[in-house]
Chains A and B, each alone.
Chain A
Amino acid sequence: MSIEFLVASAVGVLSAAGIYLVLRARTFPVVLGLAFMSYAINVFLFSSGRLVVNEPPIYGQDVAAYSDPLPQALVLTAIVIAFGMTALVVVLALRTFLEAGTDQVDGLGETPAELETLAETSASEAQVRSDVEARP
Chain B
Amino acid sequence: MTLAWIALLPFLGALAPALTIRLGRNACALATGLVTATALVLLLSLAPQVMAGEVVTTRIAWFPTLGLNLNFFLDALGLMFAGMILGIGLLVIIYARFYLNKTDPMGRFFAFLLLFQGAMVGIVLSDNILLLLIFWELTSLSSFLLIGYWRHLPEGRQGARMALTITGMGGLSLIGGLLILGQIAGSYDLSVILQSGEAIQASPLYLPALLLILGGCFTKSAQFPFHFWLPHAMAAPTPVSAYLHSATMVKAGVFLLARLWPALSGTEAWFYLVGGVGLFTMVFAAVVALFKDDLKGLLAYSTISHLGMLTFLFGLGTPAAAVAGVFHIINHATFKAALFMNAGIVDHEAGTRDLRKLGGLYTLMPIAATLAVLAGAAMAGIPPLNGFISKEMMLEEAVQASAFGLPWLIPVMVMVGILFSAAYAFRYVVGVYFGPKRESYPSKPHDAPFGMWAPSALLVILAVAIGLAPALVAGPLVNAVAAAVTGGAAGEKHLALWHGFNLPLAMSLGAVIGGAILLSLHRPAARIWTALGLPDAKTLFDRTVAAGAGAARKTTELVHNGSLQRYLAMILGAAILAAAGGFLSAPHVEGLRPTLAAPGAAIVAWLLLMGGTAAVVLGHRQRYLALIFISVIGLVVSLGFVYLSAPDLALTQISVEVVTILLLLLALNLMPKTSPVESSRARRTRDGVLASLGGLGMAGATWALLRRDGPPSISEFHWANSYSGGGGTNVVNVILVDFRGFDTFGEIIVLGIAALTIFALLETADRGASGQRLANWMPDQRRSPERHPMMLVVATRLLLPLASVVGLYIFLRGHNEPGGGFIAGLVVSIALLMQYMASGYAWSNRRLPTDHHALIGFGVTVAALTGVVAMMLGAPFLKSAYEYVSIPLIGDVGLSSALAFDIGVAFTVVGAVMLALHHLSGVAGRAEKLPPSDLPMDVDPSRAPAVGPTPPAGGAGA
Contacts and interface: CB of A to CB of B under 8 A. Distances in A.
Interface string B732-755: 100110001001100100110011
Contacts of B909: 80
Contact of B706 (A32, A50, A91, A131): A50
B715 interface: yes
Interface string A43-68: 11011111111111111100000111
A117 B613 contact: no
* Overall SS of chain B's interface: helix
B646 A67 contact: yes
B719 A66 contact: yes
Contacts of B719: 57, 59, 66, 69
A38 to B, nearest CB: 10
Contacts of B923: 94
Contact of A94 (B564, B640, B670): B670
B645 A55 contact: yes
A69 B723 CA distance: 13
B710 A50 contact: yes
A40 to B, nearest CB: 6
A97 B957 contact: yes
Interface stretch (B34-42, B221-229, B597-605, B930-938): B597-605
B10 interface: no
Interface in B601-641: 602-603, 606, 609-610, 613, 616-617, 620, 623, 626, 630, 633-634, 637, 640-641
Contacts of A16: 691-692, 694-696, 698
Contacts of A58: 729-731, 816-818
Contact of A91 (B676, B714, B736, B920): B920
B770 A5 contact: no
Interface in A1-27: 1-17, 19-27
Contacts of A35: 630, 660
Contacts of A32: 616, 620, 626, 630
A17 B691 contact: yes
B715 A49 contact: yes
Interface in A99-136: 99-101, 103-106, 110-111, 114, 117-118, 121-122, 124-125, 127-128, 131-132, 135
For the side of the interface on A, what is the size category?
35 or more
A100 B708 CA distance: 51
B754 A14 contact: no
A80 B732 contact: no
A20 B769 contact: no
Contact of B663 (A49, A87, A105, A110): A87
A81 B476 CA distance: 73
Interface of A: 1-17, 19-32, 35-36, 39-40, 42-44, 46-60, 66-70, 72-73, 75-77, 79-88, 90-95, 97-101, 103-106, 110-111, 114, 117-118, 121-122, 124-125, 127-128, 131-132, 135
Interface of B: 562-565, 568-569, 572, 593, 595-598, 602-603, 606, 609-610, 613, 616-617, 620, 623, 626, 630, 633-634, 637, 640-641, 643-649, 652-653, 656, 659-660, 663-664, 667-668, 670-672, 675-676, 678-679, 687-688, 690-692, 694-703, 705-707, 709-710, 713-715, 718-719, 722-723, 728-732, 735-736, 740, 743-744, 747, 750-751, 754-755, 757-758, 761-762, 765, 768-770, 772-774, 776, 778, 816-818, 822, 909, 912, 916, 920, 923, 951-952, 954-955, 957-958
